[in-house]
Amino acid sequence: MDGEALRRRSARHARPAGLSLHYGTAGFRARAQLLDHVVFRMGLLAALRSRAVPAAVGVMVTASHNPEEDNGIKLVDPLGEMLHPSWEEYATQLANAEDQDLEKVITEICQKAAVNMHKDALVFIGRDTRPSSEKLSQSVIDGILVLGGQYHDYGLVTTPQLHYMVCCQNTQGQYGKATLEGYYEKLSKAFMGLIKQSHSSGESQRHLKIDCANGIGALKLSEMKPYFPQEVLIHIYNDGTKEKLNHLCGADFVKVHQKPPVGLDMKPNERCCSFDGDADRIVYYYKDATGHFHLIDGDKIATLISIFLKELLAKVKQNFTMAVVQTAYANGSSTRYLEETLKVPVHCVKTGVKHLHHKAQEFDIGVYFEANGHGTVLFSKAAETKIRQLVKEEKDDEKREAAKVLENMIDLINQTVGDAISDMLVIEAILALKGLTVQQWDAIYTDLPNRLLKVQVADRRVIDTRDAERCAVTPPGLQEKIDALVKKYKLSRAFVRPSGTEDVVRIYAEADTQENADALAHEVSLAVYHLAGGTGAPPQP
C-alpha cells in the first residue's frame, strides 16, 4: 500500500468534522453532499473485500426509495448477496476514521480479515439516476485505484442488475452473462417459455401500467421492451423525464399511503404496479368498479408464488422442502392462509432482507417477501439440478411439463436479491398461466386491517426485542402493557421495534376492523411514549 498516494488522494475526499455514519441493512444513506468521503472509502473497502474473498465484488451508489436529495452506497458480495456482517463493521470503522488514521485502519482490517494485498482486486460499479450519483461513483473509482484495484463501471443500472452481474462473473457465466443484454435475454427467454404455455383470455389481460418512481426502473424497462413478446403491453409512467425521483410515487409511497401514485391514471380494474427508486421492490394495486383502491403487497405476492410452486411440486412428485419466510410485519391473514389452507410452513425472522435471505437458504425452495414488496425465491443447488434433470430425462409427460415450468421459473427469478423487473415478470407469467385476474388474486384472502405508527424517543436502544422482534424485552413493563391492550380487541396483535436508522420506535397493530387497529396502535404508541422515553408532544389519535 502506497501511504503517500493514499494521503494525497484522501485529502481530496476529506471527512466533514463530527459526522458519524453506520453501515446498516441498506448500506450507508445520508444527504448526498455528506457522502463523498464515505464513497471514496467504500472504494478502498471494496478493493480489500475483493482480495479477501478473492473474487469480484460490487458497489452500488443508490439511496433506493429515499428522497432525491439523499444518496447512499452498498457493497455486494461475490454471489450477489449482501455484504458479510463482519465487514459491515469494517465499513463503519473506515467511514468514521479520522483522515490521518486511514492507513492505520486499513492495515488493521487487512490483519483481521487476512487480506493479501498482492492478490488482484476487481470491483463492479453501478449507480441510480440521482443527480449526485455520477460524481459519487467517480469517488468510488478513486478509492479502488489508490489501492491498486481494477474496476468495471456499468453506469446506470438497477440495484438487482448489479447483484446479478457480480454473481454471473463469479460463477464463470453459469448464472448468466455479466452484461445487460445477458440479463434481458435470460429473463425474456424464460418468460417467453412460460407465456407460450398459457391460454390467456382476452386482450385486456395483457396490459400492465407501471409506475417507475421517476427512477432507474423506467430506463431499464424501456431497454428491455424489444425483448418482450407482442402479447405483453407494458405502459411506463413516472419515467423520470418530468418529476423528481420517489416524489409522491413509487412502491414505498403506495404501500405507506395506501393510495395510487401521482402521475398514473387508473381506470377501474386495470392492473397496475409500482417499482421503488432502484427497482428492487414491487407492489401491485387496482381500483374496483366503485373506485375503491386495493393494494396487493409483498405478502400477497409471496402467496401467489407459493400457490403456483406448490401445484408444480405436486406434479413433479419430488420430496422437496418448501417454506415461506416472513417478518413480524406480514399480515396475519397471509400467515394463516399459508399455514392452514395451503399447508406451507411459515417462518418468522427479524426485519431486514439479510435475515429473510439467510433463512430461505435452509430449504429446497424458500420464498421470502417483506410486506413492502422486496423479495425473491431461492432454489437449493440440489433442487435445481434435479429439476433440470427431469426436464431432460423424465418420460412421464405431466411430470416433464411441470419440471419445464419450474426450470423457466428458476431462470426468470433473480435469486441474488429482490428484483422488481424479475418479480413483475414472474407475477405476470403466473397470472397468465392460471388465468387469474388481479381481482381474483386479491380475493385469495382478505387482509386484516392494520396500522403503522412511529414514536420519537430520546434513544432507540432502550427497546430490545426477541422472538423475531415480536416481543419487547426492555424497557420493563412494556410487553405486559402491550399484551393487556391486545386482549381488548378481536383478531388482534401488536409489536414494537426500534428503527435501524433513526431514534424512533416503530409500532405495528392489526385487528378485526380498521377502527380497532387504529385504536390499538394509538394505545401502544402512548405506552411506548411513557415507558421508553418519548420526546416532544404525546402521540395524538
Tens-level pLDDT at each residue, the chain (541 residues): 788 999 999 999 999 988 999 998 889 999 999 999 999 999 999 999 999 999 999 999 999 999 999 999 999 999 999 999 999 999 999 999 999 999 999 999 999 999 999 999 999 999 999 999 999 999 999 999 999 999 999 999 999 999 999 999 999 999 999 999 999 999 999 999 998 877 655 444 579 999 999 999 999 999 999 998 877 889 999 999 999 999 999 999 999 888 999 999 999 999 999 999 999 999 999 999 999 999 999 999 999 999 999 999 999 999 999 999 999 999 999 999 999 999 999 999 999 888 999 999 999 999 999 999 999 999 999 999 999 999 999 999 999 999 999 999 999 999 999 999 999 999 999 999 999 999 999 999 999 999 989 999 999 899 999 999 999 999 999 999 999 999 999 999 999 999 876 789 999 999 999 999 999 999 999 999 999 999 999 999 8
Q: Is 388 among the annotated ligand-binding positions?
A: no
Q: Whose CA is closest to 416, among 360, 346, 350, 352?
A: 360
Q: What CATH number was assigned to the domain covering residues 298-420+435-443?
A: 3.40.120
**Is 64 a residue of the active site?**
yes
Query: What pTM was computed for the model?
Result: 0.94
In the set 10, 20, 50, 64, the catalytic residue is: 64
182-295 to CATH, choices 3.40.50, 2.60.40, 3.40.720, 3.40.120? 3.40.120
Q: Fold for 450-532, please state it.
A: TATA-Binding Protein (3.30.310)
CB-count exposure of residue 107 (10 Å: 0-12, 13-18, 19+): middle
Same fold, 3-156 and 298-420+435-443: yes
- Backbone φ and ψ for 296, nearest 5 degrees, come out as -115, 105
Report the largest interatomic distance among the alpha carbons of the chain, rounded to a whole angstrom.
70
The interaxial angle of helices 397-412 and 420-434, nearest 10 deg, is 150
Q: Is 372 among the annotated ligand-binding positions?
A: yes
Separation of alpha carbons 195 and 191, rounded Å: 6
Q: Whose CA is closest to 129, among 225, 60, 72, 62?
A: 62
Q: Is 499 among the annotated ligand-binding positions?
A: yes
DSSP lists the bridge partners of residue 450 as 510
Q: Is 498 among the annotated ligand-binding positions?
A: yes
User: Would you give the DSSP letter of residue 34?
Assistant: G
- Contact assessment for residue 65 and residue 276, using Cβ atoms and an 8 Å cutoff: yes
Tell me which architecture the domain covering 3-156 has in CATH.
3-Layer(aba) Sandwich (3.40)
Separation of alpha carbons 179 and 191, rounded Å: 18
Q: Return the C-alpha cell found at 165.
A: 452481474
| Amino acid found at 278 | D
Residue 185: other Cβ atoms inside 10 A: 15
Q: Give the alpha-carbon dihedral of 426, 257, 247, 15, to 10 degrees.
A: -90
Q: What is the pLDDT of residue 500?
A: 75
Residues 6+ apart with CB under 8 A from 151: 122, 123, 124, 125, 141, 144, 145
Domain boundaries, the chain: 3-156, 182-295, 298-420+435-443, 450-532
Separation of alpha carbons 185 and 164, rounded Å: 13
Q: What is the pLDDT of residue 378?
A: 98
